[in-house]
Amino acid sequence: MPPPVFRFAPSPNGYLHLGHAYSALLNFDLARRTGGRFLLRIEDIDATRCRPEFEAAIYEDLAWLGISWETPVRRQSEHFARYRKAVERLADLGLIYPSFESRAEIARLVAQRDASAPWPRDPDGAPLYPGAAKSLPPDQRRQLIAQGTPYALRLDMAAARARTNQLTWIEHGEGPGGETGAVHAQPEAWGDVILARKETPTSYHLSVVIDDALQGVTDVVRGRDLFWSTSVHLLLQQLLGIPQPVYRHHRLIEDASGHKLSKSTQATALRELRGQGAAPADICSLVGLSGDFCNTTGGC
Ligand code: GLU
């Protein structure tokens, strides 16, 4: 049996905080305890928000915590051609269409729909795509693209579902409602998700499943906030014919008022705590792990 492969996949759009430390330590420790491999992946597809100094800080903070990883590190921004190929493959299956509404237009359409009855929201609380771009005639689409109109490439969820079987994943952790074991994916809850944009040929959902497969990741260990995104990931894995890892979604580290930590909150940034004299063992205890990383059972 090849060894299990774990990964920690932060986006360099801010400094790592205690929640990231918890996730990275769990992954690293699981790899160590199972004789597995630990990979670090930089998810930097968003050129407007990701910055080299945040990436440098990721390496520094993780090394300070005592975590080591295989090199070279995969940086998603270096693999756009690979993601573009996957979008083309889905387009060849007739599963992709461009939509041209701006964010403001979408908000206006949703407000109109909401006026008659509450318009459906995805598991993150964002309204499902309300537009009619799916039925635009091909020549109109071509014309809008030729004119340079910004667009998003969306997955036709109904067509994608019609091509796929029942989707179930094995959850070793726990979802927000206590889901564990075999979980039925519900990708339709996300509507026609965006898989790429004019200026960025990929999206979080697409690049994460492609990279997990390319890197041979067997165990995805990440925060519970991404639990229902797994539904979309399973759908894409089946459409693209790539292997499905097992998943372990872990508890989120919250601030004193019970909110999920954010990269914009200085107080819980690892470099801030380090600057105040905290040691790696203090970080472990702040996130509820014993000093010897997570040398504890049932931590997540
Ligand atoms: N890049 C994502 C984040 O920083 C994590 C992706 C994942 O673990 O699937 O939230």
Q: How many angstroms separate the CA atoms of 49 and 35, rounded?
A: 36
Contacts 24+ apart (CB under 8 A), 212-216: 212/7, 212/245, 213/237, 213/240, 213/242, 213/243, 214/82, 215/5, 215/7, 215/39, 215/41, 215/74, 216/2, 216/5
pLDDT of residue 174: 97
pLDDT of residue 1: 85
Q: What is the Å distance from ligand 1's center to 10 Cα?
A: 5
pLDDT of residue 293: 57
Cβ 294 under 6 angstroms from ligand 1: no
- pTM of the entire structure? 0.94
Choose which residue among 226, 232, 233, 250 to substitute to test ligand 1 binding: the one with the highest number of ligand atoms within 8 A of its C-beta. Answer: 226
**What is the number of the ligand 1 atom nearest to the C-alpha of 7?**
8
Cβ 263 under 6 angstroms from ligand 1: no
Strands (E) in 177-241, as ranges, are 181-184, 194-197, 219-223
Nearest residue CA, atom 6 of ligand 1?
9
pLDDT of residue 300: 36
State which residues of the chain have pLDDT below 50: 294-300
